[in-house]
């Protein structure tokens, strides 16, 4: 059985604590950094947690059409 990885993209203060749960944290403070983190996701990523700002930076066309499951954190 293969276990998919979990990653989080967004503002450092919003995502940093997720490292304690084994989540790959990719801090991104601006839209360009968010898009770079998205493009650099490891191939075994199955779930990406996004801050609201990160989800806005990616836009629904990337979030909804991506090969991974996404979830946007509450504001």
Domain range list for the chain: 5-72
> At 2, is the pLDDT very low, low, confident or very high (cuts 50, 70, 90)?
low
Pick from 27, 75, 30, 19: which is nearest to 57 by CA? 30
DSSP-based three-state secondary structure for 9: strand
Topology adopted by domain 5-72 = Rossmann fold (3.40.50)
pLDDT on residue 65: 73
> At 4, is the pLDDT very low, low, confident or very high (cuts 50, 70, 90)?
confident
Inter-residue contact 4 to 45 (CB < 8 Å): yes
Q: How confident is the prediction for the chain on average, in pLDDT? A: 92
Residue 65, CA atoms < 13 Å, CB-side half-sphere: 5
> At 12, is the pLDDT very low, low, confident or very high (cuts 50, 70, 90)?
very high
Q: For residues 16 and 67, what is the distance between their CA atoms, to the nearest angstrom? A: 24
Q: Helical H runs in the chain? A: 12-15, 31-39, 52-65
């Amino acid at each position: 059985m293969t276990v998919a990885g979990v990653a989080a993209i967004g503002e450092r203060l919003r995502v940093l604590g997720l490292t304690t749960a084994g989540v790959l944290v990719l801090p991104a403070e601006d839209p360009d950094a968010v898009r770079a983190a998205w493009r650099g996701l490891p191939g075994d990523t199955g779930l990406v947690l996004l801050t609201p700002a990160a989800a806005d930076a990616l836009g629904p066309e990337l979030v909804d059409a991506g090969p991974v499951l996404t979830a946007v954190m509450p504001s």
